[in-house]
Chains A and B, each alone.
Chain A
């Protein structure tokens, strides 16, 4: 299982418009410059590919930081 730091780093790498090390687990991902619906799709695809977890639009709305997102995914895996 990925640590939250590894999760943050891996998801950050999926966003091609931010430099590595820009975000931390407690960064509000919506504050990423240019945050768009495309970023949301990247998050959904990442969760599906890495964890086989389906994230809905409502799931995304219920989280703000990378840490919260990682926690939600872990909860879905163990549910």
Chain B
């Protein structure tokens, strides 16, 4: 049996954090017209009591309704996030209970950020093609804005919360998910990190000590930190190389791709990488303006909106390239 992406739905939390609100909080940024290059006008933000799994459950329910999926047919749940409900049990197990999916369903958490969607697809493909699963529910979710320091203006401009549900199903012949390329550089794990609060560095009073970078972004070791310049360089160097590697491994060329979808970091970074990788604008799918960077959900959200807008059609081939914290990256192709 072969795996393919059968359906995608997504959910964004109700509360909106607009650019206007951002500029009220950070008035010194109001005149920075260069921010427009980032291509974001608003982000959706979780409420204080809302979790990533809450968003994931809502995206799954939407998938069931929107695509007439019988939840009894789900035989595996993959939950990809960096925010989980408890240390124990596995959040995917709790999601199985909340969704009322069969107890014959397997469930697994996957702790990855922005690269997570492609990793999730690879696991789902393995479950379908080697373990006999027929319908894998891949849930990606981020409530990461809760981890942002209130005065970390760069991150607060970029990131939004959201979740996506992707149904990966089996079919007899046609391959719907292609080969994969993976990569990891844990030596640069500190470039995107929430350092304190788990095994390596428990929370202490020092975790709350604020530090500012030269651009006035304030954070601490209990909050999210991203070295924007390092991550930008990481994307510029890794993504074109990964694309070359994927094309060589798959025996395909860029001409075989109807679309290319990157993790939606921000429009400036993605356009810069796109130009460096010689990807035609006509193939490039972007969806950032109404939701910002939604971590591992950004690719399925962009795919969904591409399909809704008519840019992506059934039968199209799309290259997916995801990269982020870890540092971690992965790429594949899907035939929709």
Residues of chain A having any CB pair with chain B under 8 Å? 15-17, 33-42, 44-45, 48-49, 54-57, 60-61
Contacts and interface: CB of A to CB of B under 8 A. Distances in A.
Interface stretch (B24-32, B117-125, B138-146, B251-259): B24-32
Interface size class of B (residues with CB under 8 A): 20 to 34
Contact of A48 (B29, B37, B236, B268): B236
11 contacts: A16-B36, A17-B32, A36-B34, A36-B35, A37-B154, A37-B229, A41-B229, A41-B268, A42-B268, A45-B232, A55-B233
Contacts of B154: 37
Interface of B: 28-29, 31-38, 154, 213-215, 217, 227-230, 232-233, 236-237, 268-269, 272, 275-276
Nearest to B217: A37
B272 A38 contact: no
Contacts of B229: 37, 40-41, 44, 56-57, 60
B32 A45 contact: no
A36 B272 contact: no
A54 B29 CA distance: 27
B32 A57 contact: no
A41 B47 CA distance: 31
A44 B215 CA distance: 15
A36 B29 contact: yes
B230 A45 contact: no
The 10 closest A-B pairs by CB, nearest first: A37-B215, A57-B229, A45-B272, A38-B34, A17-B33, A34-B32, A16-B33, A41-B232, A37-B154, A37-B228
